[in-house]
Amino acid sequence: MKKITGAYAFIEALRCEGVKHVFGYPGGAVLDIFDAILDAPDIQFILARHEQGAVHAADGYARASGKVGVALVTSGPGATNTVTGLATACMDSIPIVVFSGQVSTNLIGNDAFQEADTVGITRPCTKHNYLVKDCAELPRVIKEAFYIAGTGRPGPVLVDIPKDVMRGLIGFKYPEKVCLEGYCPTYKGHQGQIRRILGTILKSRNPVIYAGGGVVLSNASEELTALARDLHLPVTTTLMGLGAFPADDPLWLGMLGMHGTYAANMAVTETDCLIAIGARFDDRVTGKVDEFAPRAKIIHIDIDPTSISKNVRVDLPVVGDCKGVLSDMLNEMRDKQHEIAELHHGIQPWLERIDQWKREQPLRYEPGPGLKPQYVIERICALTPDDAIITTEVGQNQMWTAQYYKFNHPRLFLTSGGLGTMGYGFPAAIGAQVAFPGRTVIDIAGDGSIQMNIQELATAVQYKLPVKVMIINNCFLGMVRQWQSLFYKGRYSHTSMCVSPDFVKLAEAYGAHGLRVENASDVDGTIRQALAIQGPVFVDFRVVPEEDVYPMVPAGAPINNMLLV
């Protein structure tokens, strides 16, 4: 068997995994791999301008495509710069594999140049990580890394590769399968438990489906929609679950939680049967845990057994893949048409009550002078294609997008939910655009958060990626200012962004296009102009500075205790 270096074995392993795109940044410890990449024209390397941006781009690529995203960085600071991206992916269960260079094995622990304990640093924010000390182990480790990242509850995996491992010689043979002792995700739900769950739903009178990002990750949107429509069950989702159920369906309640809709929060509070699917009951959803769905029998379907009853007591759990469990439920329903008809009749008053909540307290904002950010989001939604991919940064721009942009399909909304990472949206949009070069990709940003990874505009320009960045510019760190306004007596401590770049000139300096909007009458025309431009565009929307996001549940309050407009 012909022997090749570890660097070329790395390239062959990526080919075996079907990898077509790698995001990253070079450095001394990974020069051997970067040299080998020149001989791999079938794998496109996208040069980010910061390692955090590279990992977010791999993350956005994974969320949009459903494939495992890949990033490659050097040792030391290159590896430590990936931590925020890894933690972002870990909190949101996103399958990525990050490869980092490392000093030679004989130098590990000697404080060598650009050495860091990458495995130790990243252990808390990865699903698993590896330090490869033997070149012969490299194919097996890469195979396992992709398997772990993409199976069960997905998540990020880091593989740390010392320089001498890249230079070692091996006879390359890629494993056909993976067998890891102690790691065997449960995909098939317990059939008896599924029947009990269905029986509980059919006996309920105020049922609600609460779906999370797990529905999107397991590609179970079609099954969720069929279940809800067949049983006439109202549906709410988490921030991560937006798009799992069509926003134009009459059964849609909107997002629930801290900035959820009135109808969604009231329905979850009053329900007698809460069907949680691929969701983890995080604090932004539950509010005061003791008063969350207090009258409900709680059903929880999740592939991760550690999520069951972690934050909220669960009456009927099923451990399994959302898509498989929902399919089994749909199959069980085929011979229960009489019970389903009775359910439809019995929950009619409940659906009428929900419709009343929707009419009484819809999402709304007060008209007034100046450009309203909610209006900008509404017009972006109205003027973009139905398959446009929308990313966001974090803060008010994120919440307004979740509220006012209507997502009818999964994998169209990419945002940092669990970690709340400012600077996520723009590189994630770049990753999504690489995955889908023919689609419209828009990052809805704030003037603060866009500056966190604004250097990635050079990446978009270099690779001719026509990402559109819609900046909701209110000259504040808006969400922090809102909390200061409501709970800190209006003492705006260091949240003013009065000194910011001219985003139009900045875009032009990078070789991109820049546009500015100050009046509502110019919004539609400018959005159309931005979408028509072939390259990347920054649009600076100068909105009302002190507009707040409503509804809002104060921290620690029950979710039916909402501040309204």
Structure tokens, 337: 């048409």
Catalytic residue check, 310: no
Q: DSSP for 358-383, please give it.
A: HHHS-S-----SS--HHHHHHHHHHH
Q: Distance (Å, rounded) from C-alpha 445 to C-alpha 32? A: 37
Catalytic residue check, 1: no
Give the active site residue among 163, 297, 358, 468: 163
Give the active site residue among 17, 51, 115, 378: 51
Using DSSP bridges, classify how beta strands 157-162 and 128-131 pair: parallel, antiparallel or unpaired: parallel
Catalytic residue check, 399: no
Residue 238: phi and psi, rounded to 5, are: -75, 175
Crossing angle for the helix pair 373-383 and 523-532, to the nearest 10 degrees: 50
Catalytic residue check, 245: no
Q: Distance (Å, rounded) from C-alpha 166 to C-alpha 188? A: 40
Contact 361, 404 (CB under 8 A): no
The contacts of residue 131 (CB under 8 Å, 6+ apart) are: 102, 118, 119, 160, 162
Closest residue by Cα to residue 27 from 41, 47, 57 = 47
Contact 549, 396 (CB under 8 A): yes
Q: DSSP for 88-142, please give it.
A: HHHHHT--EEEEEEE--GGGTTTT-TT---HHHHHGGGSSEEEE---GGGHHHHH
Structure tokens, 157: 């995996």
3-state secondary structure of 502: coil
Q: Distance (Å, rounded) from C-alpha 288 to C-alpha 292? A: 6
Give the active site residue among 114, 193, 361, 455: 114
Separation of first and last alpha carbons in the chain? 71
Give the active site residue among 258, 479, 497, 552: 479
Q: Which residue has the tokens 């068997």?
A: 1
Q: DSSP for 457-499, please give it.
A: HHHHHHTT---EEEEEE-SB-HHHHHHHHHHSTT---S-B--S
Quote the radius of gyration of the chain (alpha carbons, Å). Answer: 24
Catalytic residue check, 113: yes
Catalytic residues, by residue number, are: 51, 113-114, 163, 479
